[in-house]
């Protein structure tokens, strides 16, 4: 056993995890900067962190050239799949920090604390994307959850922020416990906690009913992270209460990381889909239907996006249910589309909040008259959320529908398309207030700050690009998925 302590192996691991190590150092740098910088230039810390994360993104790019190597006693894997999700997490972290720059409710003297938490939670999610050991998985999920509890409750003077944080915390703690319970089944049966060892056990012995039960219990933990029905109750309150940039971050990065571990755990442990898929399919159908139906009556834009985010998880699950290369590929593309679409929409929510001080969509009235171009851009984001071409949302939806049909889940695909009609209705409600409402609440043109315009226009570019020129993304996704699934099929 002493062999494992050889420093050379540790160094290799640290080298492979250079992005994570860098992000950790960045968190310390942020804390140091907080001490050094005077109060009036505290917002610079956000810039430092954002730049640092951009650099981490460049480092992460190296992951795409890895074939999938395990480090630290098989606890962490570095492969393009992890790299893909790390990049998504990093992009949303950068966008989130840029959004925070102009978010007024954040007090200047809290910025340092806030930024260091964001950087740390980013690190946690990056570790989640690469976790290949049940223990590592649990630790990284906990790391992320606890940090997020703090971030959600960051507006200490706001009752709603506190309420959201407490709900998030209670349900989060509960689901973590259930998750560990499920994981204990797996460890108990297989006598191992790393994915490769569990894999080996299954190849020889097969997955018994008890094993499947453990897996399904674990699903509760994942379901909580990605806000899947019926474990979604915390999401709307937490989203509404949290500072809007945190909401955006929570809805994109945390969900993405959850999807990453869900997909990796299932694909890694169960090479061929077993009986769990019907359960997953029913949950997918429930998730999108409940999310969309409840969204109809929401007037708070953050709550609305929370429910719409729940519905999107349903779509992602639909792709995942299909399993196989196509299924996971569709999950990747959908997640990518979701990242840019949601970030753009939240950037608008922040911009309008800064203008009007309200998150109520009824207060969007008159936006199209005051600034027609921006209103139309916002509308394109809404179209992408609804899945209308030529936007990324459409292409993502096309992919998951295709995957579902290919796997003969026709009923699920039908529910999926019917849901997109419901979805269109509540997104069109926002458009209704922007365009058709009689009494204008917004009378002056909306002015975007530089960080917000960067987020909005780069996201706009990406959502059009993903639909109109998706070839490169598809090639990347296929390669990624093949490397994810490949080793297990070979076993």
Q: Which of 57, 150, 187, 478 binds another protein (CB under 8 A)?
A: 478
Please count the other Cβ atoms lying within 10 Å of the Cβ belonging to residue 290.
18
**What binding mask, one character per residue, do residues 302-331 give for another protein by CB under 8 A, x or -?**
------------------------------
Nearest to another protein of 163, 406 (CB atom):
406
Specify the residue, 216 or 478, whose C-beta has the smaller distance to another protein: 478
Q: 135 vs 388, which CB is nearer to another protein?
A: 388
Q: For residues 426-465, which are near another protein according to CB under 8 A? A: 428, 431-432, 435-436
Task: Please identify, using beta-carbon distances, which residue of 210 and 475 lies nearer to another protein.
Answer: 475
Cβ of residue 373: shortest distance to another protein, in angstroms?
7
| Residue 135 CB neighbours (<10 A) | 14
Shortest Å, Cβ 374 to another protein: 12
Specify the residue, 103 or 402, whose C-beta has the smaller distance to another protein: 402
Name the nearest CA neighbour of 382 among 419, 414, 420, 430: 430
Q: Measure the CA angle with vertex 52, ends 65 and 134; round to 5°.
A: 55
> Which of 103, 130, 126 is CA-nearest to residue 115?
103
Pick one of 11, 54, 170, 418: the residue that binds another protein (CB under 8 A): 418
CA distance 425 to 413: 19
- Could you tell me which residues come within 8 angstroms of residue 374 by beta carbon, excluding any fewer than 6 positions away? 348, 367, 446, 448
* Residue 19 C-beta: closest distance to another protein, Å: 28
Name the token pair of 54.
Answer: 């951009």
Q: Tell me, residue by residue from 241 to 260, as one string, x for binding to another protein by CB under 8 A and - for no binding.
A: --------------------
Of 210, 425, 443, 461, the one binding another protein by CB under 8 A:
425
SS3 111: helix
Looking at the Cβ atoms of 235 and 337, the one nearer to another protein is 337
Taking phi over 0 as left and psi of -120 to 50 as alpha, with beta for the rest, 208 belongs to beta
Long-range contacts at 189-194 (CB < 8 A, ≥ 24 apart): 189/214, 193/133, 193/134, 193/135, 194/70, 194/73, 194/74, 194/75, 194/132, 194/133, 194/134
CB of 403 to another protein, least distance (A): 10
User: Across-strand partners of 445?
Assistant: none
Least distance in Å: CB of 348 to another protein?
18
The beta-carbon contacts of 229-233 under 8 Å, at least 24 apart in sequence, are: 229/283, 229/286, 229/287, 229/290, 229/291, 229/310, 229/314, 230/286, 231/171, 231/175, 232/287, 232/290, 232/291, 232/310, 233/167, 233/171
Give dist(CA 25, CA 264) in Å, integer.
Answer: 27
> In angstroms, what is the minimal distance from the CB of 363 to another protein?
18
At its nearest, how many Å lie between another protein and the CB of residue 379? 8
Residues 209-228 interacting with another protein (rule: CB under 8 A)? none
CB nearer another protein, residue 21 or residue 428: 428
Contacts for 459 with CB less than 8 Å, ≥ 6 apart: 95, 340, 341, 343, 344, 347, 381
In the complex with another protein, which residue's Cβ is closer, 64 or 432? 432
Bridge-partner residues for 77, per DSSP?
70
The tokens describing 306, both together, are 């929370």
- As to burial, measured by CB atoms within 10 angstroms (0-12 exposed, 13-18 middle, 19+ buried), residue 57 is middle
420 scored as a contact of another protein (CB under 8 A): yes
Q: Among 357, 475, 489, 491, which residue sits at the site for another protein (rule: CB under 8 A)?
A: 475
Please work out the total of residues on this chain that contact another protein, with binding judged by CB under 8 A.
34
Q: Which of residues 326-385 bind another protein (CB under 8 A)?
A: 368-369, 372-373, 379, 383
Measured from the CB atom, is 25 or 418 closer to another protein?
A: 418
With respect to another protein, which residue has the nearer C-beta, 236 or 470?
A: 470
Per-position x/- string for 378-417, each x denoting binding to another protein as judged by CB under 8 A, each - no binding: -x---x----xxx---x---x--xx--xx------xx--x
Burial of 163 (0-12, 13-18, 19+ CB in 10 A): middle
Taking CB under 8 A as the criterion, the residue among 474, 482, 483, 487 binding another protein is 474
Q: C-beta of 413: minimal distance to another protein in Å?
A: 6
Determine the Cα angle at 98 with ends 462 and 15, to 5°: 80
Q: Identify which of residues 185 and 473 has a Cβ nearer to another protein in the complex.
A: 473
- Residues lying near another protein in the complex (CB under 8 A) are found at 368-369, 372-373, 379, 383, 388-390, 394, 398, 401-402, 405-406, 413-414, 417-418, 420-421, 424-425, 428, 431-432, 435-436, 467, 470-471, 474-475, 478
């Amino acid at each position: 056993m002493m062999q494992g302590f050889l420093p050379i192996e540790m160094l290799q691991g640290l080298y492979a995890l250079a992005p994570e190590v860098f992000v950790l150092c960045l968190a310390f740098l942020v804390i140091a900067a907080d001490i050094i910088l005077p109060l009036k230039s505290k917002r610079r810390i956000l810039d430092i962190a954002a730049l640092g994360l951009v650099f981490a993104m460049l480092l992460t790019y190296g992951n795409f050239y890895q074939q999938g190597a395990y480090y630290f006693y098989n606890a962490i894997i570095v492969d393009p799949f992890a790299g893909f999700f790390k990049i998504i997490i990093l992009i949303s972290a950068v966008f989130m920090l840029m959004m925070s720059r102009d978010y007024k409710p954040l007090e200047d003297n809290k910025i340092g604390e806030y930024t260091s938490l964001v950087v740390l939670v980013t690190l946690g999610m990056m570790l989640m994307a690469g976790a290949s050991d049940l223990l590592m998985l649990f630790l990284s999920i906990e790391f992320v959850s606890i940090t997020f509890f703090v971030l959600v409750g960051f507006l200490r003077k706001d009752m709603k922020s506190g309420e959201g944080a407490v709900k998030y915390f209670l349900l989060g703690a509960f689901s973590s416990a259930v998750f560990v319970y499920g994981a204990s089944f797996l460890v108990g049966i297989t006598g191992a906690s790393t994915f490769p060892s569990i894999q080996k056990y299954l190849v020889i012995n097969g997955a018994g009913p008890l094993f499947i039960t453990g897996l399904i219990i674990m699903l509760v933990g994942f379901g909580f992270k990605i806000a899947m029905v019926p474990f979604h109750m915390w999401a709307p309150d937490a989203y509404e209460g949290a500072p809007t940039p945190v909401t955006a971050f929570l809805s994109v990065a945390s969900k993405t990381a959850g999807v990453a571990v869900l997909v990796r755990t299932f694909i890694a442990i169960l090479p061929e889909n077993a009986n769990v898929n019907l359960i997953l399919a029913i949950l997918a159908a429930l998730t999108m239907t409940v999310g969309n139906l409840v969204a109809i009556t929401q007037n708070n834009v953050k709550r609305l996006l929370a429910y719409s985010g729940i519905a999107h998880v349903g779509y992602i699950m639909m792709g995942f249910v299909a399993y196989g290369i196509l299924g996971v590929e569709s999950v990747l593309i959908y997640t990518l589309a979701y990242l840019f679409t949601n970030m753009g929409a939240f950037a608008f929510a922040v911009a309008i909040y800064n203008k009007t001080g309200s998150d109520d969509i009824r207060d969007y009235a008159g936006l199209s008259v005051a600034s027609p171009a921006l209103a139309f851009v916002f509308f394109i984001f809404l179209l992408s959320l609804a899945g209308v071409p030529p936007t990324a949302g459409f292409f993502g939806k096309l992919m998951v529908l295709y995957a579902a049909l290919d796997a003969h889940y026709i009923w699920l695909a039908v529910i999926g398309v019917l849901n997109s009609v419901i979805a269109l209705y509540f997104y069109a409600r926002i458009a209704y207030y922007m365009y058709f409402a009689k009494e204008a609440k917004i009378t002056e043109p909306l002015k975007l700050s530089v960080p917000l315009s960067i987020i909005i226009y780069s996201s706009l570019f990406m959502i059009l690009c993903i639909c109109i020129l998706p070839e490169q993304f598809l090639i990347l996704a296929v390669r990624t998925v093949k490397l994810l699934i490949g080793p297990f099929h070979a076993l």
